[in-house]
Chain A
Amino acid sequence: MSTDVTIPSGIITQQSADRARVIRDNVWRAAVLVALVLLWALLSTMSDLVASPADSLNALAERFADGSIYRHLNATLQAVVIGFLIAAAVGFPLGYAIGRSKFLGAVFDPLVAGAFAIPRVIFFPILLQIFGVGVGAQSAMAALAAVFPIMVSTTAGVRAINPLLPKLARSLSLSPLQTVTKIYIPAMAPSLMVGIRIGFSIAFINVIIAEFFAARAGLGLLALRAYGMLDLPTMYGIIVLLAAIALAGNLVLWAIERRLGNKL
């Protein structure tokens, strides 16, 4: 058996097999998507409460054509991005500190877990009174909602680090900064990505909930108004738009994960 011949050719066929599998998976995903749209179309013929896919996309396209949607899209995206950035700026360092220090862990673990379990929307009225109705309140809502999941996954990530790695860092006499950037962050990359993914999702969901409750602009508000005026195509159109945003966000995160995965 000459392994030196079989191994490289094996790797090549492995790669092309992987590529074939990716293509096959994507075909299946497209099929699932088509099936969902068909199901939706079927439901729309059965119930007056469901607008047809074509009508919904048309209504959405109209909103883009006359430009009336941009104000709302901006408000929602701004709130999500600002809220997420605040949550990340606070959540990652705090989560890291709690994970590294036994003392901080003992003090903050129960607090963070308790706060995580509270439906944070309940504080929205208070945010409204502080920031007034507007993007400020929605951003604060997103930050408040996303900060705890980010902290929890960061803390879990720090604690899951192989205990030999800090030893390795000391044996190589790395500086504290090098230890963080060369050892901790790469070792924690998967849980950091989990934090980012969950943080974004939760920020997004909470902004929409908050917009349902009180807002001057935003996709949640627009959907609720459309429903109030029985403009169902617009409402479903916005749902499609939100799903597209969620999917796009996740695709970007996947791409980043894959690049990190290849590099590490």
Chain B
Amino acid sequence: MSQIFPIDTVGHDSDVVFDNIGMTFGTKTGVTQAVANVSGVIPEGKFVSVIGPSGCGKSTLLDMVGGLLKPTKGTVSINGETVTGPRRDTAMVFQEDSTLHWRTVLDNVAFGLEVKGVPKADRYESARRMIELVGLSGFEDHRPGQLSGGMKQRVAIARALAMEPRVLLMDEPFGALDQQTRQFIGRELLRIWEKTRNRVLFITHDIQEAVYLSDEVWVMSARPSVVKEVVTIDLPRPRPEGTHTLPRFRELEDHLWELVKVEAEKTLGPGARLA
């Protein structure tokens, strides 16, 4: 059910390939080695989640794929091209509310396309499609201030999807939502993804969420981090509501929890024991 690194890092041209990447931050007071060494491949049409203790470098990893950070070691490549900056074929969704509060929902969803220079009629057309896809029809002219937290995150997802990315990068997109909203919007995301099937790199600290959504879960070690284990989620798709109760789901969840627990205890310091 799981394979231990090193894995085969030679992917196809169209894959997202991490080739021995590492990130060390230089600060005024010294250096922080956030990511030590990560190699791996996100294959075409796969949903990959990353879990790991907080501060282990998950966001850093994602930002490197998004071109917001340049790795200090190794390269990330997409389609065989090394990532040197934000690309037109990647789109990001963040944990914090990143809606532009002065724009309507429609203009928020169209924002990425607008920046790309897509003509107004075209970008509104795709924005409307995405708004429908994320279930916000009827809210086109509302402003973020009138929406709930979950709806704002859907706006952010629609904005990312409207850019028709080959790689969708999501950094704990549901982290600020309550448990119920979180589960609901997770199912929605899966429903949408079944249609688009772009590659997703999804960061979360919620093990259940990771199992439910993903094809693969990468477990990161404490900082300086490596991918400790890649767990293949061999649950059939599509995954209906009762998936959480399948014995296999429980097994995978328990296995991941064991892996994460060890790392979390390292992060919390000597003597820390988690149940």
Contacts and interface: CB of A to CB of B under 8 A. Distances in A.
Do A and B share a direct contact in the complex (Cβ within 8 angstroms)? yes
Contacts of B224: 1
Contacts of A14: 28-29
A18 to B, nearest CB: 9
Interface in A1-53: 1, 3-4, 6, 10, 13-14, 17
Interface string B12-32: 000000000000000011100
A1 B223 contact: yes
Contacts of B242: none
B269 interface: yes
Most buried by B among A1, A4, A10, A13: A1
A7 to B, nearest CB: 11
Contacts of B210: none
A125 to B, nearest CB: 47
B140 to A, nearest CB: 33
B201 interface: no
A14 B29 CA distance: 6
Interface in A205-227: none
Interface in B183-230: 222-224
A227 B6 CA distance: 84
Nearest to B222: A1
> How would you classify the secondary structure of chain A's contact residues: helix, strand, loop or mixed?
helix
Contacts of B223: 1
A13 B222 contact: no
B30 A13 contact: yes
Contacts of A1: 222-224
Contacts of B269: 3-4
Interface string B243-275: 000000000000000000000000001000000
B248 to A, nearest CB: 35
Nearest to A4: B269
Interface string A108-145: 00000000000000000000000000000000000000
A17 B222 contact: no
Contacts of B29: 10, 13-14, 17
Interface in B1-52: 28-30
A10 B269 CA distance: 17
B114 to A, nearest CB: 35
Nearest to A18: B28
Nearest to B32: A6
B25 to A, nearest CB: 13
A139 B193 CA distance: 72
B28 A17 contact: yes
A4 B269 CA distance: 8
A98 to B, nearest CB: 27
Contacts of A4: 269
A9 to B, nearest CB: 8
Contacts of B222: 1
A78 B269 CA distance: 61
Most buried by A among B28, B222, B223, B224: B28
Contacts of A13: 28-30
A10 B25 CA distance: 14
A3 B269 CA distance: 8
A1 B266 CA distance: 9
Most buried by A among B29, B222, B224, B269: B29
Contacts of A10: 29-30
B33 to A, nearest CB: 9
Nearest to B27: A10
Contacts of A17: 28-29
A220 B201 CA distance: 69
A13 B27 CA distance: 11
Nearest to A3: B269
A3 B222 CA distance: 12
B60 to A, nearest CB: 15
B95 to A, nearest CB: 23
A14 to B, nearest CB: 6
A13 B223 CA distance: 22
B121 to A, nearest CB: 44
A33 B222 CA distance: 50
Nearest to B28: A17
A1 B225 CA distance: 11
B30 to A, nearest CB: 7
A14 B27 CA distance: 10
15 contacts: A1-B222, A1-B223, A1-B224, A3-B269, A4-B269, A6-B30, A10-B29, A10-B30, A13-B28, A13-B29, A13-B30, A14-B28, A14-B29, A17-B28, A17-B29
Given A1-B222, A1-B223, A17-B29, 12 more contacts: A1-B224, A3-B269, A4-B269, A6-B30, A10-B29, A10-B30, A13-B28, A13-B29, A13-B30, A14-B28, A14-B29, A17-B28
Nearest 4 pairs of A and B residues by beta carbon: A13-B29, A17-B28, A10-B29, A14-B29
